[in-house]
Structure 1
Amino acid sequence: MSSDETLENIRALDKKLEENTEQRNVLVGLMTKGYLEPAVYNKSNNELLQEAERLRRQKESITRFLNNGFQNLSEVSALLQYATKASMLEGFDGELFARFVERVLVYSRAEIGFELKCGITLKERLVR
């Protein structure tokens, strides 16, 4: 999905959220004028609220995806820049480790993974 398509999806979701709000306002108006039974109002209002929540979650998911993509790109760029300019390390560098590694995953006694900040996970077998 291109960024143009993604932005278009966000705009479409915003438009649907606006329409949903307008529909809820119409329902309130009809209810206050006595044109709707309370049970019908509650049912319709609940459906609209559920739909609005679904649309908000979908929009949030797309936005988070975009933000993570930009963050990962930045982290990949930093890692690539370091890897192309750095000399071979003689020992462990804690500061460097913290700069590029998000967390360490333990799969078993014989296998661990390093989840990098750029989104890549490197699996390593432990040798005794």
Structure 2
Amino acid sequence: MYYIKDNHQPIIEREKFELVQELLAERARGKGYSPEMAWKYQTRYPFRHKIVCGNCGRGFRHQIHNCSQPFRQEFWGCANYIERRVSTCDMRPIKNNTIERLFVRVFNKLLMNRHLLANFSTTLRMVSHAKIGGDKLDDINAEIDSLLKQEHVLLQLYEKGVTDKTLLRIEHEELIGKLGGLRAERNSIIQQIEGQDERVKQTDELISFFEGIDNPLESFDTELFETIVDKLVVKERECIVFRLKNGMELEERYKLQRGDDKV
């Protein structure tokens, strides 16, 4: 690919375009915005695209109730419920503050109970070593080898004209069908094994991560949340499942009440 400057007649002259960009940048600086602040705007709502409704599967949207202080409160609500499709989903909104405090609890639970991740890693390794189905993969490979040998014999008989070629073709087509099914099953098992191996790696990385932390988390931290959490599934109004990057799930419950929920 090549970039050729001023290769064609522009819709807006370059000088005017650059002048407009300078004016926009100057206005942004006047409002206190700088490029260094872009990350803050991008991470203002760390739960965006992370929360999924356990009832209908749709994502949650950010909401603000009572915009004026001191009654301002942030919520996350199921898209179906917000769109007044209560017949589709009746999952009520959840307070942003509640999710943040639940994450702090999850983080400290993993920090104080490091055996949880170690046990999960052991389980994944056992599954991986068992190759998802014990000796299933070895059995499939042996059966594929046997069918390939049968195919070779059929092709020899076909070339020599020893028997009815029509029957040989029928037998060969059946054999090819069996081979296709076995190869598909083998690929599926291999993909599962590779997936498990990746989860083992991610779990070991989380174990190392927590080994480097000494003190419990006292308040919500966006960067830590992004580091360890993959998805939040709102199972019930008072129950959220935290799905970690390695696939491990932690179910956290709280009690709904006025003001701050009891976490």
Same fold (TM over 0.5): yes
**Structure whose alpha-carbon radius of gyration is higher:** 2
Give CA-to-partner distance per residue, 1:37-88, whole Å, 9 cap, x none.
53x3454234323321332233223323332332222222222222232232
Determine the C-alpha separation between the residues in 2 that align with 1:120 and 1:110. Answer: 20
Shift of 1:113: 0.8
Residues 101, 44 of structure 1: alpha-carbon distance in 2 compared, 3 angstrom cutoff: farther
Contact 1:30–1:36 (Cα < 8 Å) also in 2: no
Number of the residue aligned with 2:248: 120
Segments of structure 1 that go 5 or more residues without pairing to the other structure are none
* Aligned: 1:61 with 2:61: no
Shift of 1:36: 2.9
Which residue number corresponds to residue 145 of structure 2? 18
Match of residue 51 from structure 1 = 178
Answer yes or no: is 1:89 the counterpart of 2:229: no
What SS does the aligned partner of 1:68 have? helix
SS of residue paired to 1:107:
strand
Give the percent of matched residue pairs that are identical in Structure 1 and Structure 2: 26
- Judging changes above 3 Å, is the alpha-carbon distance between structure 1 residues 88 and 54 closer, same or farther for their aligned structure 2 residues? same
Question: How many positions carry a matched residue from both structures?
Answer: 126
Task: Tell me the TM-score normalised to structure 1 length.
Answer: 0.68
Q: CA deviation at 1:25?
A: 4.6
Letter matched to residue 84 of structure 1: E
Pairwise CA distance, 1:8:
7.0
Asked if 1:79 is matched to 2:206, the reply is yes
- The CA distance in 2 between the partners of 1:126 and 1:76, in whole Å, is 26
CA RMSD of aligned residues (A): 3.2
8 Å contact from structure 1 (residues 102, 115) kept in 2 = yes
Describe the shift of the 1:106–1:16 C-alpha distance in structure 2 as closer, same or farther (beyond 3 A): same
**What is the CA distance between 1:121 and its match in structure 2?**
0.8
Higher helix share: 1
SS class of match (2:240): strand
Q: Which moved more, 1:9-18 or 1:69-78?
A: 9-18
Pair 41,81 (structure 1): closer, same or farther in 2 beyond 3 Å: same
